[in-house]
Amino acid sequence: MAASTSKPPFSKILVANRGEIALRVFRTCAERGIGTVAVYSDPDRDALHRLGADEAVHIGGAAAHESYLNVDRIIAAARETGADAIHPGYGFLSERPVIVQACEEAGITFIGPPARAMELMGDKMRARETMTRAGVPVVPGVNELGTSESALAAARDVGFPVMLKAVAGGGGKGMRIVHREADLARAFEASSREAKAAFGDGRMFMERAVMRARHVEIQLMADAHGEVVYLNERDCSVQRRHQKVTEECPSPSGQMTPSVRAAMGEVAVKAARAVGYTGAGTVEFLFEEGPGGPEFFFLEMNTRLQVEHPVTEMTCGRDLVWDQIRVAAGEPLGYSQRDVELRGHAIECRLYAEDPRRFLPAPGAVHKVRWPTGAHIRVDTAVSSGSVVSRHYDPMIAKLTVWGPDRMAAIGRMREALHETVLLGISTNIPFHLRVLDEPDFLAGRYTTRYIDEHPALTEALTLDERDAKAAAAAAVFAARRARVSGARADVGEVGVSAWRRASRWRS
């Protein structure tokens, strides 16, 4: 994309975040002639996002409340560097109205929705009430539960199984499915405690548990001039512990027809208009297939850019960060619904430093990295050779996204891209992703949010061939270290390739 010759809407943008999303925003800013400011904590002194900006400001210690959640220090950093706008990325402060209010008081533009929209949609109970009034379909349930006794009474009315959810929740925290009356009181207390610890708010609500549903979300973009468009859907049903692992666009569901897509999009637009939304946002739905056609229910609205936005960008040709920046500056969106395209198929795999059998974080030093290259392959990452995946933050290493003219072409390209990825020194979930890409139900597009639970072989111990591949990786590291000691030239990535391709070709 060529740099714009017109005057950019902001002179300098501070990204109140870290890792790959900070670098993602910096990239768009650099293309458009906008200066950039990074903020960093003690463990991130040598992080790539710090080095990827024009300026960097230290904002505190390792704990998020001392740094990336510290509004006063972030505002001070913006003032110190002369940044006239703040982009929150995702996570941390991205859905907290306090940062919007602080920006307004400081005369700094917040690149995101109004505080009121955040408040309404961030409180899941109020969001349900608002959506019901707006005529948006919601999952049947009970909005607020004060005690385990009230929860039991509500569950009897709603009907088991039920889903307990935190009013202030997100990322799967505070969520539990309960199948029996005998388990409800204990599950309610545990969910409330978890929500209180994670969000400072232990309030709970309940929904009927839709057990055979997909998680399908609609990407929105809205300006302050009344234009709201939907940019197609993303299917995010492959999840572990209610957290997304693999996303694709369009949904492979046979019941996701153009008319159903349009109906979901129109409902999502209605939801955005109901709260006066501007900027990038995502309306998430439970999508239940049935013999008479699908039903879909409002799940929640994420008032920020989503982790999985690359699959939308690759299938509709938009730079969502640039749209966010323009809209925040008061510019009109510049395109309408009829201009939105759906081209080909894109898949994203989230790569984590974790044990692929139990999905437990496995932080540590990355000895050697080699990312795949080629047409229609995109890598969003803040990890390179010598980087350290910190135990203080989310263990996601990268997002690997590919595009193809159809779904099977995209799956084939993703499989090869994963095979070409080298990450030595840490455990990753690449073996899990490769198993998914070869699994018959996934290949056929037959999956729901229970996909991982219903396919336990995906997380079984490594096979003999896979262990051989890990041994090849260890041998590659040893050979490279020995070569360095002797002064000989060695490239770990190249040393490891042939051994892996003779084995299972799985990277770990």
pLDDT of residue 470: 55
Dihedral, 135, 158, 243, 506 alpha carbons, nearest 10: -120
Dist CA 381 CA 49 (whole Å): 10
**Residue whose pair of structure tokens reads 């929150």 in the numeric block:** 88
pLDDT of residue 466: 56
Supply the Cα-derived Rg of the chain in whole angstroms. Answer: 23
pLDDT in tens, the chain (508 residues): 444 457 899 999 999 999 999 999 999 999 999 999 999 999 999 999 999 999 999 999 999 999 999 999 999 999 999 999 999 999 999 999 999 999 999 999 999 999 999 999 988 888 989 999 999 999 888 888 889 999 999 999 999 999 999 988 776 788 999 999 999 999 999 999 999 988 889 999 999 888 889 999 999 999 999 999 999 999 999 999 889 999 999 999 999 999 999 999 999 999 999 999 999 999 999 999 999 999 999 989 999 999 999 999 999 999 999 999 999 999 999 999 999 999 999 999 999 999 988 889 999 999 999 999 999 999 999 999 999 999 999 999 999 999 999 999 999 999 999 999 999 999 999 999 999 999 999 999 999 999 999 999 999 986 645 555 555 555 554 454 455 544 443 333 332 332 333 233 333 3
Q: Which amino acid is at 397?
A: I
Angle (CA) 166-170-175 rounded to 5° is 45
Peptide bond connecting 161 to the previous residue in cis, omega within 30 degrees of 0: yes
H/E stretch holding 58 reads strand 55-60
Q: How far is CA 345 from CA 44, 79, 98, in A?
A: 35, 42, 38
List strands edge to edge, sheet with 162-166: 141-145, 204-208, 162-166, 176-178
Which residue numbers are catalytic? 304
172-207 burial, b if ≥16 CB within 10 A, otherwise e?
bbbbbebeeeeebeebbeebbebbeebbeebbbbbb
Dist CA 248 CA 255 (whole Å): 15
pLDDT of residue 492: 34
H/E stretch holding 72 reads helix 71-81
Catalogue the E-assigned strands of 203-291: 204-208, 213-222, 228-240, 243-249, 279-288
HSE value, Cβ hemisphere, 13 Å, CA-based, for 38: 25
Domain 140-208 has CATH 3.40.50.720: no
pLDDT of residue 350: 98
Helices (H) and strands (E) in the chain, counts: 17, 23
57: which strand partners?
39
Residues 6+ apart with CB under 8 A from 328: 9, 85, 109, 110, 111, 112, 278, 279
Dist CA 214 CA 246 (whole Å): 13
CB-based burial of residue 83 (10 Å sphere; 0-12 exposed, 13-18 middle, 19+ buried)?
Answer: buried
pLDDT of residue 278: 98
Strand 228-240, strand 176-178: pairing: unpaired
The three-state secondary structure class of 96 is: coil
Q: Are 52 and 35 in contact (CB under 8 A)?
A: no
Dist CA 158 CA 145 (whole Å): 13
Dihedral, 485, 487, 493, 495 alpha carbons, nearest 10: -90
CATH number of 12-111: 3.40.50.20
Angle (CA) 187-189-192 rounded to 5° is 105
- DSSP states of 151-217 as a string? HHHHHHHH-SSEEEEETT--TTTT-EEE-SHHHHHHHHHHHHHHHHHHHS---EEEEE--TTEEEEE
Peptide bond connecting 456 to the previous residue in cis, omega within 30 degrees of 0: no
Interhelix angle 492-502/464-486, rounded to 10 degrees, is 160
**Residue whose pair of structure tokens reads 């899941």 in the numeric block:** 124
